């Protein structure tokens, strides 16, 4: 019985090892690049959000018929960096919630105010059944809840 020569066996073993090492290096390189990009993006957002704060300055329950009042919510960026408003919800005392249904606005710059109007809330005569207003932003954990008595308009 004849086998392969030791020289050919060594060459095949080295070629197989180099091929496997090349595949592992390619996979590891891709993994390293994607992990680096993810960490960079998360770090950038964390740094941008480090000084982010928003505050609901005032809430107004406005006229209309007894079942169709509008609620205006004035939100202010009280932090030191721009922040985007992602959601705004007004809740009544029975637990029903009403949202603006708006597309998130762009950056709300430092000390900038913006007003959102939620229509047809049916809170009754002002202040009616208003419970709270909640605003959220693109920075996790940065938001505000307003639970004071709203102003009537």
Higher-pLDDT residue of 4 and 66 is 4
Alpha-carbon distance values, 10 to 7, 21, 97, 103 (Å) = 5, 16, 73, 65
User: What is the average pLDDT value for the chain, to the nearest integer?
Assistant: 83
Mean pLDDT, rounded, for 39-62: 83
Instruction: Provide the residue range defining the domain that includes 105.
Output: 54-152
What's 5's DSSP letter? -
Q: Return the top range by mean pLDDT from 17-26, 31-40, 142-151.
A: 17-26
- Residues recorded for the chain: 153
Same domain, 35 and 67: no
Residue-wise pLDDT tens digits, 86-125 = 888 888 887 778 776 666 666 788 888 888 888 777 676 6
Name the band, by pLDDT with cuts 50, 70 and 90, for residue 60: confident
Same domain, 110 and 66: yes
Same domain, 98 and 136: yes
User: Total domain count for the chain?
Assistant: 2
Phi, psi at residue 130, to the nearest 5°?
Answer: -60, 135
Same domain, 107 and 36: no
Same domain, 69 and 83: yes
Same domain, 8 and 64: no
Burial class (CB in 10 A: 0-12, 13-18, 19+), 150: buried
Same domain, 42 and 91: no
């Amino acid at each position: 019985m004849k086998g392969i020569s030791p020289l050919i066996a060594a060459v095949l073993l080295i070629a197989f090892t180099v091929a496997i090492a090349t595949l592992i290096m390619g996979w590891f390189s891709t993994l390293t690049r994607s992990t680096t990009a993810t960490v960079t993006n998360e770090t950038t957002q964390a740094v941008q959000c480090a000084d982010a704060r928003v505050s609901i300055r005032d809430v107004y329950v406005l006229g209309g018929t007894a079942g169709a009042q509008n609620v205006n919510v004035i939100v202010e960026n009280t932090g030191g960096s721009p922040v985007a408003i992602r959601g705004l919800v007004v809740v009544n005392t029975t637990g029903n919630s009403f949202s603006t249904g708006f597309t998130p606005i762009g950056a709300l710059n430092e000390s900038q105010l913006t007003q959102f109007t939620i229509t047809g809330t049916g809170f009754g005569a002002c202040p009616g059944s208003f419970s709270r207003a909640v605003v959220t932003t693109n920075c996790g954990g940065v938001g505000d809840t307003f639970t004071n008595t709203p102003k009537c308009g």
